[in-house]
């Protein structure tokens, strides 16, 4: 039940004031009286009255003038004018200016009470309509705001963009300047963004909030908003950076949907216009829901993308296993088939064919050995357990030790080696670097036609020696220049009749060169050959 309705009576007849006060108080109205227009005005400025009974002729002012002031201050007030016989004209004027009724003196009590009653009844209807209207407008505003926020935050699938644009929209639509968002990650809340804080405040905000610590965590866990009208005296270290000397309110809104919390949005305001009213909390909670949906979508998208990346890696591994199986079984098939052929009793092969079988066995046993070495090397690189036994040596010596192997590889190509005599010695594992060069030459052979040139060259600058292997083969499209150094990657375009490889060669090269502190890269265009270069630091 609402409180009593209040009535102000202004009349210079003090006895009249007394009587009427008693009559009205008996009818359970709250009554104030004033003997002059000035005093009446003061009362009106102090508080709201539901009704005012104003004498039309006052010593210090015309009653209609007081009526105007009264309606200026309280447009909804029920104003009843009291007149003598002589001033009916004035009374009519008063009605035109907005008075509810006029009554002639001497007053008939019944008539007065009935007029007051009707006036207040009408006022109640007006006020009720107005508040319904206001509520409708507020709903409308909330709905529109939510729609705008929802549109704004759902435009992106990037988590950071969503957080930033959410805080911006909160400021734009609610007028709240300072805000922040924490999101739940691995059993703690992580600060994802702030808006309207000074750089110092931002820097002081806790980057992470551990489990069960402070108000922010509580909001997250309970998934309910918490409002603190004045947090100047509150001791919560997570809110400390936000404090100012003046009074400030804090609102913590859970970012949650269907009972599942994903984080907390906090807003701080010192502006009394933006105090945390019920409507504001409702609006912020609604905005929180929209942010939650957008963040959830972004997180799901991220999860799906990383699942896709894992799936890709898994596919590469599966393909790798199939390739390794193929690569192992092919030389094994040659070895077994050749040995088996020699053992068959139904056919006697001539001497040269027998020789050929033996050579095949010999050659593919070597192939198998290299393959096993590659696999071992890769697993060492993956375990970061590659040992590099450095010693000071000349590149020309390294090449000398692998010369036979290089000659074998390039029987159908022209191999040119061009190493300057004054190339400085370098501190390297000669066997490993020999492996890199062999691998690069092997690739060059694999991807270029017979009778083309393959060049090994070297130069030096202050810091490095730089070694390159250049071929005139099918080249490499720029979009896979990085990818070819990834393990398991298989390029297309090796010539028919050649074995495919494990997709490990260049990954191994990169592993070895990086273990030496150097770099390896490729320059190539399709059909224009390729140049693989690596650097080895002199120190």
208-210/51-55 β-pairing: unpaired
325 interacts with another protein by CB under 8 A: yes
Minimum distance, C-beta of residue 338 to another protein, in the bound complex (Å): 6
279 interacts with another protein by CB under 8 A: no
437 CB-near residues (< 8 Å, 6+ apart): 398, 399, 402, 406, 456, 467, 469
Between CA 123 and CA 121 the distance in angstroms is 5
DSSP SS3 for 454: strand
Minimum distance, C-beta of residue 335 to another protein, in the bound complex (Å): 7
Minimum distance, C-beta of residue 504 to another protein, in the bound complex (Å): 17
Among 18, 326, 390, 412, binds another protein (CB under 8 A): 326
322 interacts with another protein by CB under 8 A: yes
Binding mask 473-512 for another protein (x = CB under 8 A): -------------------x-x-xxxxx------------
364 interacts with another protein by CB under 8 A: yes
User: Which residue's entry shows tokens 């061009």?
Assistant: 418
Locate 63 and state its tokens.
């009653």
Q: Note the helical H segments in 383-424.
A: 395-409
Q: Based on CB atoms, which residue is closest to another protein, 297 or 360?
A: 360
61 neighbors 68 (Cβ within 8 angstroms):
no
Binding mask 333-362 for another protein (x = CB under 8 A): xxxxxx-xx--x-xx-x---x--xx--x--
Minimum distance, C-beta of residue 354 to another protein, in the bound complex (Å): 10
Sole window of 103-111, 242-250, 332-340, 453-461 interacting with another protein (rule: CB under 8 A): 332-340
Among residues 99, 23, 19, 90, which one has the least CA distance to residue 58? 90
The DSSP symbol for 348 reads -
Distance of CA 287 to the CA centre of its chain: 16
115 neighbors 80 (Cβ within 8 angstroms):
yes
* 106 prior amide bond cis, ω within 30: yes
Radius of gyration, alpha carbons of the chain: 46
Minimum distance, C-beta of residue 507 to another protein, in the bound complex (Å): 21
With CB under 8 A, what is the number of residues at the site for another protein? 32
532 neighbors 349 (Cβ within 8 angstroms):
no
Binding mask 441-480 for another protein (x = CB under 8 A): ----------------------------------------
Name 190's bridge partners: 183, 208
Sole window of 52-60, 203-211, 302-310, 324-332 interacting with another protein (rule: CB under 8 A): 324-332
DSSP SS3 for 128: helix
370 interacts with another protein by CB under 8 A: no
536 CB-near residues (< 8 Å, 6+ apart): 426, 428, 433, 464, 465, 467, 513, 516, 517, 518
Minimum distance, C-beta of residue 446 to another protein, in the bound complex (Å): 12
Spatial strand order of the sheet with 6-10 comes to: 30-34, 6-10, 51-55, 78-83, 101-104
DSSP SS3 for 106: coil
Sole window of 116-124, 226-234, 300-308, 326-334 interacting with another protein (rule: CB under 8 A): 326-334
Minimum distance, C-beta of residue 346 to another protein, in the bound complex (Å): 7
297 interacts with another protein by CB under 8 A: no
Binding mask 382-421 for another protein (x = CB under 8 A): ----------------------------------------
Q: Based on CB atoms, which residue is closest to another protein, 50 or 474?
A: 474
330 interacts with another protein by CB under 8 A: yes
Minimum distance, C-beta of residue 408 to another protein, in the bound complex (Å): 15
Q: Which residues bind another protein (CB under 8 A)?
A: 322, 325-326, 329-338, 340-341, 344, 346-347, 349, 353, 356-357, 360, 363-364, 492, 494, 496-500
């Amino acid at each position: 039940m609402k409180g009593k309705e209040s009535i102000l009576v202004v009349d210079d007849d003090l006895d009249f004031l007394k009587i009427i006060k008693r009559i009205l108080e008996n009818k359970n109205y709250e009554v104030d009286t004033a003997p002059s227009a000035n005093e009446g005005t003061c009362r009106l400025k102090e508080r709201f009255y539901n009704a005012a009974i104003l004498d039309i002729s006052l010593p210090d002012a015309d009653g209609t003038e007081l009526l105007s002031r009264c309606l200026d201050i309280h447009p909804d007030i029920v104003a009843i004018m009291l007149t003598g016989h002589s001033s009916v004209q004035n009374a009519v004027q008063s009605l035109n200016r907005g008075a509810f009724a006029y009554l002639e003196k001497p007053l008939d009590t019944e008539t007065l009470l009935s007029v007051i009653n009707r006036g207040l009844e009408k006022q109640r209807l007006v006020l009720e309509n107005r508040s319904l209207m206001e509520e409708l407008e507020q709903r409308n505003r909330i709905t529109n705001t939510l729609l705008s926020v929802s549109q704004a935050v759902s435009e992106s699938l990037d988590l950071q963009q969503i957080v930033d644009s959410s805080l911006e929209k909160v400021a734009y639509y609610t007028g709240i300047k300072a805000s922040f968002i924490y999101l739940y990650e691995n059993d703690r809340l992580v600060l994802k963004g702030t808006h309207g804080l000074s750089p110092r405040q931002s820097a002081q905000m806790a980057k992470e909030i551990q489990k069960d610590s402070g108000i922010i965590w509580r909001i997250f866990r309970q998934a309910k908003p918490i409002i603190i009208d004045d947090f100047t005296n509150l001791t919560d270290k997570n809110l400390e950076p936000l404090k100012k000397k003046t009074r400030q309110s804090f609102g913590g809104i859970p970012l949650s949907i269907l009972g599942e919390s994903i984080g907390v949005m906090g807003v701080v305001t010192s502006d009394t216009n933006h105090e945390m009213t019920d409507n504001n909390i409702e609006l912020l909670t609604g905005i929180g829901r929209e942010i939650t949906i957008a963040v959830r979508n972004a997180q799901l998208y991220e999860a799906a993308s990383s699942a896709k990346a894992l799936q890709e890696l898994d596919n590469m591994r599966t393909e790798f296993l199939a390739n390794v199986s193929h690569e192992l079984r092919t030389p094994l098939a040659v070895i077994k088939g050749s040995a088996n052929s020699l053992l068959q009793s139904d056919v006697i092969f001539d001497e040269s064919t027998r020789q050929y079988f033996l050579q095949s066995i010999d050659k593919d046993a070597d192939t198998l050995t290299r393959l096993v070495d590659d696999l071992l090397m890769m697993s060492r690189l993956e375990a970061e357990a590659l040992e590099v036994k450095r010693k000071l040596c000349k590149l020309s010596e390294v090449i000398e030790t692998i010369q036979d192997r290089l000659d074998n590889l390039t029987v159908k190509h022209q191999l040119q080696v061009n190493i300057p005599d004054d190339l400085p010695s370098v501190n390297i594992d000669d066997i490993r670097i020999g492996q890199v060069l062999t691998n690069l030459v092997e690739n060059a052979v694999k991807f270029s036609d017979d009778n083309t040139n393959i060049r090994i060259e070297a130069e030096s600058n202050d810091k490095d020696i730089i070694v390159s292997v250049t071929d005139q083969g099918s080249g490499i499209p720029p979009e896979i220049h990085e990818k070819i150094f990834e393990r398991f990657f298989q390029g297309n375009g090796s010539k028919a009749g050649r074995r495919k490889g494990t997709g490990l060669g260049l990954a191994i090269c990169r592993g070895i060169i990086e273990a030496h502190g150097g770099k390896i890269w490729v320059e190539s265009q399709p059909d224009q050959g390729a140049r693989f270069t690596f650097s080895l630091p002199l120190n």
